[in-house]
Structure 1
Amino acid sequence: MNAPVVLRVAATPALPALVLRPWRMADVAALVEVSRDPALRQWASSVVDNDADGARWVRAQQRGWAAGDRFGFAVLEAQRGSAREQLVGNVVLKEVVPGKPAAEVGYWTTAHARGRGVAPRALEALTNWAFHTFEAAGLERLELLHQVDNLASCRVAQKSRYDFDTVLPAAPPSFPRDGHLHIRRTRA
């Protein structure tokens, strides 16, 4: 990926526009702030406690883009009546390998963005981009995994047309509890 990728989700009468773009070092302060949320910390695979952690996390996202195997997007919400954008989440396409039929998606939303359709809208934009960008390289399906007790994530998967596939056994430490595997295919 040479050119910067920016995905846009149009505003609706009830919902502001979203902008999905690669993470930048300028996002560190906002990342640290939103990472204080206990619910986000409960489900996130990595914890960001301070600016050094945030910078490490952003650099890891940037390395994924450079390697072409992990594509993390900051999800920003346009502020009505302003040119400002506020961080409301993250979506990621990971484990992208040419010729491999599957890749994984993940996401999180900030406390103030939950329950407002941010995750499904951002995930839909990421899904469409992934299939459009990598289908010729063999991508046929996207996998979404979450712990069985993460009911909000299950609702996001369903709203985003990721069909439930199976229950996965716990795999500590990354997945300390059983999980759900949801799948979306290029051709429904």
Structure 2
Amino acid sequence: MNKITTRLTAAATPTAPALVLRPWTEADAIHLVDLYQDAALRRWTSAGIDDLTDAEQWVLTQQRGWEAADRRSFAVLESPDGRAEGRLVGHVVVKGVLPGSESAEVGYWTAAYARGQAVAPRALEATAEWAFGTFADAGLLHLELLHQVDNTASCRVADKCRFPLASTLPAAPPDFPHDGHLHIRTHR
């Protein structure tokens, strides 16, 4: 695999360390198994990570997305000094950035032990700014954020990151068994 060197940062808050966002590596897989024991994470995400083999496959899928240039996934890590990588606290992704496409989708999750530390909004904001800065010349005008209507935490994150609610989408089983919210952020 080619080494992807994109690295983003998000500033510390008064109560939480800075964040480093970088592409997923094989070494991250072991941490995913523990993180996916969280019932809330399993409820809101589509990945089913039950063991190290599942985690390694998931990481490989993220790496292949970078290589195919259609999915850019970042591991989100605490950074006590603003540079070094610490504990894994989340994930953020930009999906579907294709030449000539005006929109792409973003998604994220936060580890249970890091919730309440503004990990998702800081990581999403850094990623949105990066995506618009990197792909605006290729035609990117909008980022879409989708979540189930009963995921109120994701609504709060979307609001904080300037993704206003655009519409409510009807359920489309089996892939989308519940109604969803579509939030859209437009590049300035």
Deviation at 1:42, TM superposition (A): 0.4
Q: Is 1:108 the equivalent of 2:109?
A: yes
Q: Distance in 2 between matches of 1:68 and 1:130?
A: 12
Contact 1:145 1:181 in 2 (8 A): yes
Contact 2:4 2:66 in 1 (8 A): no
Q: Give the counterpart letter for 2:124 in structure 1.
A: L
Structure 1: runs of 5+ lacking an equivalent: none
After superposition, residues 65-144 of structure 1 pair within 5 angstroms as 65-79=66-80, 85-144=86-145
Q: Is 1:177 the equivalent of 2:178?
A: yes
Deviation at 1:2, TM superposition (A): 7.4
Q: Give the counterpart letter for 2:161 in structure 1.
A: S
Q: Give the counterpart letter for 1:64 in structure 2.
A: G
Contact 2:104 2:143 in 1 (8 A): yes
Q: Give the counterpart letter for 1:42 in structure 2.
A: R
Contact 1:90 1:108 in 2 (8 A): yes
Structure 1 partner of 2:46: 45
Using structure 1 for the length normalisation, give the TM-score.
0.95
Contact 2:95 2:104 in 1 (8 A): yes
Deviation at 1:133, TM superposition (A): 0.4
Q: Distance in 1 between matches of 2:91 and 2:177?
A: 22
- Number of aligned pairs? 187
| Structure 1 residues 24-66: Cα deviation after superposition (integer angstroms, max 9, x where no partner) | 0000111111011000000111110100000000000000000
Structure 2 partner of 1:32: 33
In angstroms, what is the RMSD of aligned CA positions? Answer: 1.8
Using structure 2 for the length normalisation, give the TM-score.
0.95
Q: Distance in 1 between matches of 2:10 and 2:151?
A: 25
Structure 2: runs of 5+ lacking an equivalent: none
Contact 1:17 1:77 in 2 (8 A): yes
After superposition, residues 144-155 of structure 1 pair within 5 angstroms as 144-155=145-156
